[in-house]
Chain A
Amino acid sequence: MPDDTKPEGASAPEPTSEPAAKPGAEQPAPAEAQPAAEAAPAASAPEKPPAAPAAGGQPAPKPAPAAKPAAAAGAAKPAAAAAPKAPAAMAATPWESDLTRALKEEFGDQILDFSSYAGQNFLAAKPEAAVPILESLKEIHDFDYLVDVTAVHWPDKPEPFEIVYIVYSFARNERIRMKIRIPEGYKPRTAVPVHLTANWLEREVYDMFGVEFEGHPDMRRILLPEEWETFPLRKENSILKMDQHWVQENLGIESGQ
């Protein structure tokens, strides 16, 4: 309550200008890694423009028109000041370890980049490489527990769906994410042969985003009724726009709102 009554600028977020207050372990040295983040995706992006990872510092063309000036400003300012006040693209830093080198060797340019944000590592891969990478992670690198499969919808990007796989290794006590970006209508291969967990998780992705998985044993809706028409977590479906047709037919009420 005392914090609320303070007349500090109600609209501006608390200026986190004191980097000392930030937990050191959470953000692995953003200061010196910042310029590298700007450079790395810029190098990789020209080769594969459609598959530019969202993770990288390269601003995507449409969704963030303010991205370019912000990134430029961030580069111009001292890097330490730019890190907490993130530009419009995620200020990810490159991630390098024995694992990334091994994966790089095995998959080459199938993996677009390795990055790290807020102390969490993730890699972006080409969609067709997702399942082989998961398999390699499981068989060779001990990532034997698929934590989650989910998706994020970025409607303004050329490849609007970002499928996120989170895997964990009990032996290494390490959690990494793998992301693939797919265009509308693309059917990524299912991960069920590698991890049985993927069964329901992929069904949920289909249910919420309409992304079908190739070769999935049971590609049906899981939470919503089978006859439901929309995919609710797509951004074009606002919270008010739902399948009224189904509601009226099956529940006998005018609207589910």
Chain B
Amino acid sequence: MADTFLDSTELVLNMGPQHPSTHGVLRVILKLDGERVLGTECVIGYLHRGVEKIAENRTWQMFAPYVDRMDYVAAVSNGLGYCLAVEKLLGVEAPPRAQAVRVILTELNRIASHLLWLGTHALDIGAITPLFYCMREREYVLNIYEKYCGARLTTHAFRIGGLQYETYEGFEKECLEFCDLFEKKIDEYEELLTGNRIWQQRLTGVGILTAEDCKEYGVTGPMLRAAGVKWDIRKAQPYSGYEKYDFEIPVRENGDTYDRYIVRMQEMRQSVRIVRQAVADIPAGPILAKVGKVIKPPVGEAYVSIEAPKGELGYYVVSDGSTQPYRVRIRPPSFVNLQALDKMCRGALVADVVAIIGTTDIVLGEVDR
């Protein structure tokens, strides 16, 4: 297209790191031909805190609160992944009661994370209303967290080997109340958005990633499922007792932004389903496995990954037999998914870039670590 206009030149546009639609401190350098994007380059690292280095200087338990600060909208999922990885090294498994509570909290977290995504994504597209509704419902989840473990966002809810806190009185009731309420609210969001012609026109056919692209770029999570690959670690390699629960993996075919929206909405419904099943059947028993006060895993290494709201969140932990981790490598879903941004943006309009960044569902705390 560029060569049809003889004297047109490429324009380099700097988007971010302060741009509100980049969801944090992502800087995207856009190479433009008129309104068309010729190429993008992401500049990341503004929020780099050296989490992996911090890990090498803390004991195994002490590092647990730090992982909450990566994907801070899904702190519970982060904590679960880390605890599972260390438990794998130790060769212990959390007691059934702890596993059930973990599943409940993680699924609530998935809802909270998707709600924040939905609100901000809709805001990026131009629909302001859903943001307020999503935040309102998210508040219920955060209140449950606050009552359960004492913190709302960076929860530090799980400990290596199980849980620190017993469920509070009325925990089950509140979870079920939230489920009842939330199912109606999802219908409301869908009434607002799914059929809306502006929403459809802005999202359909934008930022297409085929299944091959996804595999090539290592894209996981809802983005992969929107491209038609029915793959969810909760089903493929169940952890924390997910095999006990009955749920479906929502899949769409086209792999565009609209399909990702649909997949995430369906996922929230499935999460509600899992929460209901898990709440109905929380086994009695201890909540903490016998791990001792000082955690000293044997020499070894393990890679454990979970299905975080954003995709595959992996922890590669190496122990040298001391009380401190020798190496903790975090495989963040946002970081890897963001790599496909260039592929999705090529040929799109500038306004679509905003939609595509929104649909990638990145959290910069996790990208930069």
Contacts and interface: CB of A to CB of B under 8 A. Distances in A.
Query: Would A and B touch once assembled, by the CB under 8 A criterion?
Result: yes
A91 B297 CA distance: 12
B335 interface: yes
Do most interface residues of chain A lie in helix, strand or loop, or is the interface mixed? loop
B294 interface: yes
A118 B302 contact: yes
A26 interface: yes
Given A164-B316, A170-B231, A223-B48, A13 B296 contact: yes
B293 A147 contact: no
Contact of A148 (B92, B229, B331): B331
Interface stretch (B26-34, B136-144, B214-222, B276-284): B214-222
B329 A145 contact: no
Contacts of A29: none
B303 A200 contact: no
A118 B89 contact: yes
B44 A222 contact: yes
A185 interface: no
Nearest to B304: A120
A8 B292 contact: yes
Q: Which among A1, A87, A146, A196 has the greatest number of chain B C-beta atoms within 10 A?
A: A196
Contacts of B90: 16
Q: Which among A10, A14, A16, A144 has the greatest number of chain B C-beta atoms within 10 A?
A: A14
Interface string B288-332: 101111111011111101000000101010100100001101010
B303 A120 contact: yes
B293 A148 contact: no
Interface in B124-138: none
Contact of B218 (A88, A147, A223, A239): A147
B93 interface: yes
A160 interface: no
A117 interface: yes
A145 B218 contact: yes
Q: How large is the interface on A (under 10, 10 to 19, 20 to 34, 35 or more residues)?
A: 35 or more
A257 B161 CA distance: 33
Interface string B25-60: 000000000000000000011001010111011000
B91 interface: yes
A85 interface: yes
A88 B50 CA distance: 28
Interface in A141-185: 144-148, 150, 152-153, 164, 166, 170, 173, 175, 177
In the complex, the 4 A-B pairs of residues with the closest C-beta atoms, listed nearest first:
A86-B298, A14-B292, A197-B218, A223-B45
7 contacts: A10-B294, A148-B331, A150-B331, A170-B229, A197-B218, A204-B335, A233-B56
Interface of B: 44-45, 48, 50, 52-54, 56-57, 88-93, 164, 215-218, 229, 231, 236-237, 288, 290-296, 298-303, 305, 312, 314, 316, 318, 321, 326-327, 329, 331, 335-336, 339, 368-369
Interface of A: 1, 3-4, 8, 10-14, 16, 21-23, 26-27, 84-92, 117-118, 120, 144-148, 150, 152-153, 164, 166, 170, 173, 175, 177, 195-197, 199-201, 204, 208, 221-225, 232-233, 235, 238-239
